[in-house]
Amino acid sequence: DWPEIVYNMQHRIGLSSGPMVTGNMGSTMRMNYTMMGDTVNLAARLEASAKQYGIYIQVNESTYEVVKDKFDWRFLDYVRVKGKQLPVKVYELIAEKGKMNDTDKAVIEAFSQAHELYYKQDWDKAINGFKEGKELEEMFPGRSENPSNVYLKRCYQLKEDPPGKDWDGVWVLTKK
């Protein structure tokens, strides 16, 4: 028998597809099997930022493109990770293709509509849409945060201090 805490464990995953170096590295006195490269670093950043969004699996665009027809997704954000200049398009994996429940469908619909308004800088309408999404997303147990609430906070912040006409919508992640 497992302790009760085991059944409530949660984990996060960041997936990034691309070139990397993997294998035994080091000297004959101290050898480790490891992997290195920008792809690995990005996966680590995505895993860490998944917590900020309150999600469990976050992938970059190259991973999404390879498996997009096998799963249902939510386009989450354009982010700039620490140490990089180019933004990364990121997605949340929701469910196996065709197995998304009605609540998830409603969340994705509300979020997607509000997301479009966010990029148009229509803050009041985006706020209303993210409020709707937040109410639906809070039905999921064990989450201290969710993407709709993250965007709701951003909308209030950006409404108070508008980003300007040349805003590209990219969010800068400041934590590793």
**Phi and psi angles of residue 22, each rounded to the nearest 5 degrees, phi first:** -140, 145
Q: Tens of pLDDT along 95-128?
A: 999 999 999 999 999 999 999 999 999 999 999 9
* Residue 171 C-beta-side C-alpha neighbours within 13 Å: 20
Structural domains of the chain, count: 1
Candidate from 17-26, 54-63, 68-77, 158-167 with smallest mean pLDDT:
17-26
0.85 exceeded by pTM: yes
* Separation CA 127–CA 159 (nearest Å): 10
Render 30-41 in DSSP notation, one character per residue.
Answer: SEEEEEESHHHH
Three-state SS at 2: coil
Looking at mean pLDDT, say which of 6-15, 31-40, 63-72, 167-176 comes out highest: 63-72
Tens-digit pLDDT profile for residues 10-23: 789 999 999 889 88
pLDDT tens digits for 127-141?
Answer: 999 999 999 987 666
Give the CA distances from residue 143 to residues 10, 56, 80, 82, 97, in Å, rounded to whole numbers and listed in that order: 10, 10, 24, 25, 23
Tell me, what DSSP letter sits at residue 166? T
> Domain of 74?
4-172
Choose the weakest-confidence range: 28-32, 63-67, 76-80, 88-92: 28-32
Task: Record the tokens describing residue 175, joined without a space.
Answer: 């934590």
At 163, which amino acid appears? Answer: P
Give which of 18, 15, 20, 152 is closest to 90, Cα–Cα.
Answer: 15
Q: What's the CA gap between 36 and 48, in Å, rounded? A: 17
pLDDT for 176 beyond 70: no
For 8-28, letters b (16+ CB in 10 Å) and e give eeeebebbbbeeeeeeeeeee
